[in-house]
């Protein structure tokens, strides 16, 4: 039996405090995009978090009209590839296609379109970019064949508490299709989503408020210890 090689770990004082994605995500097969494998996608648009994490890519999708300034800001600070939201719900047609082209020009790994995206918009995006199109699937009622024919390359499944079941259903019908999925809040739910057929997982990091709360507790304890010593 081949002995597993030990990997050296190098951390610096100021950069060792970062958002770590759950280790269980590494059990996923990953998705190979243009020669690089991606397993853990961090779902955030927070610049500070984007600069301090160990994920494979950033899922930069947000509930507002996509804007070039947001893509530019995120890509200017991210040290890992970005999957950029380009609309599809309120924002459609030429604007989404132009946003997609802008995202590609700024080095984004792929573009992400929302569940309501019309076929015509997917086709328009597919005509102007040479990066994958990821479509978010939020229910079992989406016509996947139609979206794939229009140019969608990867599915991003987000169906709240029923995500694992939807992943399993889609995987049975599409054995080779690349699937990203939200893994849920626990390692058990993430593992179940991977076992259902997800190739990669999107992980939502703690909010700034929660992170600051932990940091303030640490500082309070430090001051107390210093006072009592």
Average pLDDT over residues 51-75: 96
pLDDT of 185: 86
Please check the confidence at residue 16 and state whether its pLDDT lies above 90: no
pLDDT of 72: 97
Counting Cα atoms < 13 Å in the Cβ hemisphere of 39 gives 15
Is residue 7 one of the residues assigned to a domain? no
Strands 82-85 and 57-60, sheet pairing: parallel
Q: Give the model's confidence band at 17: pLDDT under 50 very low, under 70 low, under 90 confident, else very high.
A: confident
Please check the confidence at residue 11 and state whether its pLDDT lies above 80: yes
Please check the confidence at residue 34 and state whether its pLDDT lies above 80: yes
pTM of the complete model: 0.91
CA geometry: angle 32, 66, 116, nearest 5 deg: 75
Q: If phi over 0 gives left and psi between -120 and 50 gives alpha, with beta otherwise, what is residue 184?
A: left
CATH of residue 185: 3.20.20.60
Is residue 95 one of the residues assigned to a domain? yes
DSSP string across 137-191: E-STTS-HHHHHHHT--EEEE--GGGHHHHHHHHHHH-TT--EEEE--SSHHHHH
pLDDT of 219: 79
Q: Give the model's confidence band at 200: pLDDT under 50 very low, under 70 low, under 90 confident, else very high.
A: very high
CB 77 within 8 A of CB 60: no
How many structural domains compose the chain?
A: 1
CB 132 within 8 A of CB 103: no
Is residue 17 one of the residues assigned to a domain? no
Is residue 13 one of the residues assigned to a domain? no
Tens digits of residue pLDDT in 39-62? 999 999 999 999 999 999 999 999
Q: Residue 213 carries which DSSP code?
A: H
* 83, two tokens: 């999957």
Please check the confidence at residue 25 and state whether its pLDDT lies above 70: yes
pLDDT of 218: 79
Average pLDDT over residues 169-184: 96
Is residue 138 one of the residues assigned to a domain? yes
CB 84 within 8 A of CB 132: no
Please check the confidence at residue 1 and state whether its pLDDT lies above 70: no
Please check the confidence at residue 83 and state whether its pLDDT lies above 90: yes
CA geometry: angle 219, 223, 227, nearest 5 deg: 170
Q: Which domain holds residue 124?
A: 23-205
Q: Give the model's confidence band at 226: pLDDT under 50 very low, under 70 low, under 90 confident, else very high.
A: confident
Query: What is the average pLDDT value for the chain, to the nearest integer?
Result: 93
Helix axes of 119-128 and 93-105: crossing angle, nearest 10 degrees: 30
Distance of CA 78 to the CA centre of its chain: 13
Is residue 221 one of the residues assigned to a domain? no
DSSP string across 68-122: HHHHHHHHHH-SS-EEEE--SSSS-HHHHHHHHHHHHHTT-SEEEE-TT--HHHH
pLDDT of 3: 75
Distance of CA 142 to the CA centre of its chain: 21
Please list the residues that pair with 203 across neighbouring strands. Answer: 42
Tens digits of residue pLDDT in 100-159? 999 999 999 999 999 899 999 999 999 999 999 999 999 999 999 999 999 999 999 999
Is residue 15 one of the residues assigned to a domain? no
Is residue 58 one of the residues assigned to a domain? yes
């Amino acid at each position: 039996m081949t002995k597993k090689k030990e990997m050296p770990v190098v951390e610096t004082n100021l950069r060792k405090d970062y958002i770590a994605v759950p280790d269980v995500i590494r059990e996923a097969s990953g998705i190979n995009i243009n020669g690089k494998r991606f397993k853990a996608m961090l779902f955030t648009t927070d610049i500070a978090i984007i600069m301090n994490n160990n994920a494979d890519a950033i899922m930069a999708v947000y509930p507002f009209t996509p804007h070039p300034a947001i893509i530019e800001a995120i890509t200017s600070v991210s040290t890992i590839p970005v999957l950029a939201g380009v609309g599809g719900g309120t924002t459609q047609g030429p604007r989404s296609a132009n946003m997609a082209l802008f995202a590609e020009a700024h080095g984004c790994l792929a573009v992400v379109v929302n569940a309501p995206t019309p076929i015509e918009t997917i086709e328009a995006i597919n005509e102007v970019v040479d990066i994958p199109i990821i479509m978010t699937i939020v229910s079992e009622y989406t016509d996947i064949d139609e979206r794939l024919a229009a140019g969608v390359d990867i599915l991003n499944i987000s169906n709240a508490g029923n995500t694992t079941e939807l992943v399993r259903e889609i995987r049975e019908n599409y054995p080779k299709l690349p699937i990203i999925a939200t893994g849920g809040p626990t390692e058990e739910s993430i593992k179940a989503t991977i076992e259902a057929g997800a190739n990669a997982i999107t992980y939502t990091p703690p909010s700034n408020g929660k992170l600051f709360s932990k940091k303030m507790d640490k500082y309070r304890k430090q001051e107390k210890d210093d006072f009592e010593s």
